[in-house]
Structure formats: C-alpha cells, structure tokens
Structure 1
C-alpha cells in the first residue's frame, strides 16, 4: 500500500508529514519514559522481520492482485503502540530512501496509512482490550485477524481520501473506494493469519514479550529471551534472503486498484517538487526495487532482503541510543 508521489499534492503531503511527525513526537516522549531495555533488540529484530515480510507479495486468488504484510499490528502487539510506531517509521524510511519503495513526498501518508492505524488503532482498540483480562491463543488469533482487517481497511480508505483531497488524478473517488476496500479486506485476512502465527509462537516461546502480557507471565518460558530473538532473526533472514525470491509478480492492492480504473499500475505527476523528490530518491536508492541497478540477477533480491534487515536493526539501535530510549531510571 505504499503510495507514490503522483497520487498526492504537495499540500496533502505536507499535512500528512505534520500529522505523522506529531504522532512520532508523542511516541518518542512516551518511549523515553519506558524502562524496559529488552525492547531495544526486539525493535531491531522485529523491524527487520517486518521489512523482510513486506518483500513477499502473496497472490490474492482470482483477482490478478497481490498483497503484503503491513506489520503495524504485529509490532504493536510486541512493543506497544509507541515503540511499534517508531519501528515502523524506520522500516518505511529505509524502504523509501534505499529501495525507492513508496514516494518520498508521500512518506508522511505512508507512515500514517501503514503505521499509525496498525500501531495505535490496532493496539489500543483491539489488542489491549482483548488481552486485558486474559491472554490465550484463541484471543491472540481473533485480535490479530480483527486488528489487521480493521487497520488495513482504515489505511486503504485513507489512501482514497488523500488522493481525493489532492485532486491531481482523475481517479473517481467512489469507484476508487469500491475497488480498494474489498481487495484490502482479502489482504487484511491473510495478514491477520500471518500475524497470529507469529504472535502465537511468541506466546508459546516467551509470553512476557507480548504487550499487555502480564497475565501470560505465569506461563513457563519455553525458550530464553536470546534464543527467541535468534529464532525470529533467522526467520527474518530466511524470509528476506530466500522466500522473497518467490514473491508474487502481480501488482499489489493499490496498484491493482489504479489499474482497474486507468489501465495502468502507475501514474505520473509533473512539477518542480516532484522532480526534486525523485532526484533525491534516485541519489539515495542504492538498490531500487530491491535489486541491483541494471541487473536482473536474483541475488539482488536476496542481498536486498538481508542488507535491508541489517540496516533496519542498526537504525533502530542507533535511534534508541540517540534519543536515550528505555534509559529512564525507575524512581525509588
């Protein structure tokens, strides 16, 4: 659901940058008050996991479309809404700058659509209430599916609203909504199942890692903290380095929706600010479209999956150190 710059006007782009920055500022303030230093490696590993998972587009049968994990619900269920949101920003920033995935002008929109809803709406309205009194595998599965479906529907609808408010495309709003919502409903159901599988594993292996998981702490841990993270890290490397080679070639839900209405998966926009954003992305994207430049080698995809995951981990750890996350001492 990464929006391209051609869908939005500079005014809408600026507004969404402000909204996303405000949510990021609030998250930074809250995370700096957290004392759980174990969240730092979890942010890095799970950020890398989400980055790798987003590389795998799965086919939506009978549509000619595909979808991929957003990851906001997954991250917030492990880290809480604020730390999860900041981790998602890191993932989306790396995708935008190093891999030219999603427009630079549209980054504020993508953060809001893909990170804000999953991390805040999903965590606070679905996950936390469901886990308030007891945490079970059944509750985890239900909340994962409900949360992913709801937040992906909100994100898809926001794409349509942002496109309408921009007024620079000829996409008819009602037809765009009617195309976007059903396909993202299907994508949300698949993402919900994937999210549930990961969270059930964590629940069985190390339940204390789950957000609002106090009730689950009475369960015996199957794996140590380090072993659980190692399993997730190895899985992320396998997904990004190997499984990404088998990703669907069909356009994703947003591209498919645009194609249904215009006959093309991409739109173009002209203007100085669009050229400037494109120039910056061309300069920073060392692996555009997750591949080596001017090469069809599959090793470009493998390298992108592993390299991108490492960069996400390093970025998360550096930001935690820079902003002194989780360093606040508990009062006596």
Structure 2
C-alpha cells in the first residue's frame, strides 16, 4: 500500500506529513516507557523483520498480490508507540533507498501504514484480551483479529486522503469499494503472518512480547525422555533481566536475512492491492517519477548486477542490514533518553527536600 508521488495533491500531502510528524513525535515520547535494555535492540530487529516480510508479496486474487503492513505485529511485540516508530523506519528506508513509496507521500504512507494500522490493531487486540480467557491462545487470537482489521482500516484512510486530495477524477465510491474489497483479502494474509509470528515468539519468550506481559513460560522437566510441565513449586520464575535476548535476536535476524535474501525471489510479481486499484480505476494517471529512482537499490535490485536472483537477494540483505542498524540506533537513543530522565529525576528529588 505504498502511495507513490502524485496520487495525492500537495496541500493534503503536507497536512498528512504534519499528522505523521506529530504521531512520530508522540511515539518517541511514548516509546521511552515501552523500551528497556532488552527490548530496545529487539525493536530494531522487529523493524528489520517487517522490512524483510514486506518483500514477500502473496497472491490474493487474479492478478493482485498483497504484503504485510506490519503495524499490528510491531505493536503487539514491542508496544504501540514503538510499533509506530518501527513501521516508520521501514517506510523511510524503503522510500530513500529503494524508491518504494513516494517521498512527498511519506506522510500519507506513515499515516496509513504505521499510525492507522497500529491504532486499529492494538485497540482490537486489547479489547479482545479483556473478554477472552487469559492465556497464550487468546493473545494469538486477538493478534489475528487486530491484524485482520488493521489492513482495511489503512485502506479506508487512503480513501479519505484521496477524497480530500486525489489528483484524478475518480468517483470516491469506486475507490472505496475497490480498496476495501481487495484489502479485506490482504488482511487475511496479514492476520496469518502476525498470529504465526506472535505465537512463535510467545512460545519461547513470552516475557519479551509487549502484548503478552503477565504470561510466563512454564518450566519444563525431562521425565522418561519426555518434556513435561514442572510442578508449580518447582517452576520458580527466572528474573527477566537475567535472561539473555541474544539467541532470539540472532535467530530473528537470520530469519529476516533468509526471507529477504532468498525467499523474496519467489514472491508474487503481481501488483499489490493499491497498485492494482490505481491501474484499474485510473488513480495513477498523474503519478510522478520517484526522486530516488536512480538509487543503486531502486526497485529492490542492485544496480549493475545482471543476475535477477542475486541482485534482488543482495538488495534484500542490504535493506535488512541498514534497517536493523538504523532502527536499533534510534531505539537505543530513545532508551538512553529515558535513562537520563530517570537519573535527572532521582538527582532532583533529594534537592527538593
């Protein structure tokens, strides 16, 4: 759902940019409460993983594909404020390095794909957790539902932006019907990917899943060659700070690199939901040339590398690497700012007496 330059006029694009900038600023403050020394590097990993999975377009209808938006996944894994930042980092890297999503439309894309998806998904997720029985299965079910609804939510927001500032004369009813219809199908894929990923992380480290706080992995004992849950008295919890995140971080990064560097070659080449709707309805009549179209990594391929498989794989690996470095740097800075604030508050408290 990356909106190119030229779909939305300048005034509405500027307004969307202001909305996106405000949302990012609020999220930077909110993320200070969500991030700690363990989750800050994991947030960078989440951003890199979303980048990788967004390269894996899956078919949803004849001649149409979809891909993960990632807002629901990020919000549930690392928190809603940090989730907005994760997806925003991905969109920034895609726009600057890969000419994917217009630079003048960056505010529109952040509003659609980062803010709306996170708000819708996390609201649904939290609402369902209040009524479902406490447990890991409920977290996975709520994640599925939140992700499912977040994609049509983003499609509705695009329709609103188009109604306010579309550059072509297409009836808004047609745009809404086409966008909502195809993105409901894409939402199913989003929900499956999100639920599967959240479920996998919960299975090994529920203490690191923001949306599953309070769940603890039961201690396992091997009895007669079988793993069984330990008795409650024996299942003393291990302090969270004492448990290393390195194995999860390494396995997650390797997975992202494999997905982007190898599996992405087999992704669907059909246009995604917005591209298909834009072509069918004439929304793309005034699309503009991307400012980064001459980037060495434009269109997810490395310039001057003739082999398509190698070119796409290298671009994906570079993208994952850059995203994890930039994302981790941002989240460590946010975490450090929180530590500085806490230190300042603790220092000021005795003086106030």
Same fold (TM over 0.5): yes
Mapped partners of 2:272, 2:176: distance in 1: 15
Mapped partners of 2:134, 2:90: distance in 1: 28
1:251 aligns with 2:271: yes
Mapped partners of 1:167, 1:254: distance in 2: 14
Contact 1:27–1:85, Cα closer than 8 Å, also in 2 = yes
For residues 1-332 of structure 1, what are the structure 2 equivalents within 5 Å?
1-34=1-34, 36-61=36-61, 63-123=62-122, 125-132=123-130, 135-217=134-216, 219-220=218-219, 225-262=245-282, 266-269=284-287, 278-279=290-291, 281-282=292-293, 285-293=295-303, 296-297=306-307, 298-323=309-334, 324-327=336-339, 328-329=341-342
The Cα of 1:136 is off from its aligned counterpart by 2.8
**Which whole-Å deviations, capped at 9, do the CAs of 1:55-110 have from their partners, x for residues lacking one?**
0100114x210000011100110110011111111110000000000000111010
Is there any run of 5+ residues in structure 1 with no aligned partner, and where? none
Mapped partners of 2:172, 2:272: distance in 1: 19
Is there any run of 5+ residues in structure 2 with no aligned partner, and where? 221-226, 228-242, 347-353
Contact 1:53–1:240, Cα closer than 8 Å, also in 2 = yes
Structure 2 vs 1, CA of residues 320 and 145 (structure 1 numbering), >3 Å: closer, same or farther? closer
Structure 2 vs 1, CA of residues 37 and 253 (structure 1 numbering), >3 Å: closer, same or farther? same
Greater mean deviation of Cα atoms: 75-84 or 315-324: 315-324
The Cα of 1:176 is off from its aligned counterpart by 1.2
Mapped partners of 1:106, 1:100: distance in 2: 12
Contact 2:40–2:332, Cα closer than 8 Å, also in 1 = no
Mapped partners of 1:48, 1:84: distance in 2: 12
Mapped partners of 2:338, 2:201: distance in 1: 22
The Cα of 1:129 is off from its aligned counterpart by 3.2
Mapped partners of 2:250, 2:129: distance in 1: 26
**Which whole-Å deviations, capped at 9, do the CAs of 1:129-179 have from their partners, x for residues lacking one?**
334575434323322222122111111111112112113112221111111
Bigger Rg over Cα? 2
TM-score (structure 1 length as normaliser) = 0.89
Structure 2 vs 1, CA of residues 17 and 220 (structure 1 numbering), >3 Å: closer, same or farther? farther
**Which whole-Å deviations, capped at 9, do the CAs of 1:252-303 have from their partners, x for residues lacking one?**
00011122223xx84335xxxx67xx44x246x3300001236552211101
Contact 2:139–2:211, Cα closer than 8 Å, also in 1 = no
The Cα of 1:229 is off from its aligned counterpart by 2.0
Structure 2 vs 1, CA of residues 6 and 286 (structure 1 numbering), >3 Å: closer, same or farther? same
Mapped partners of 1:126, 1:219: distance in 2: 27
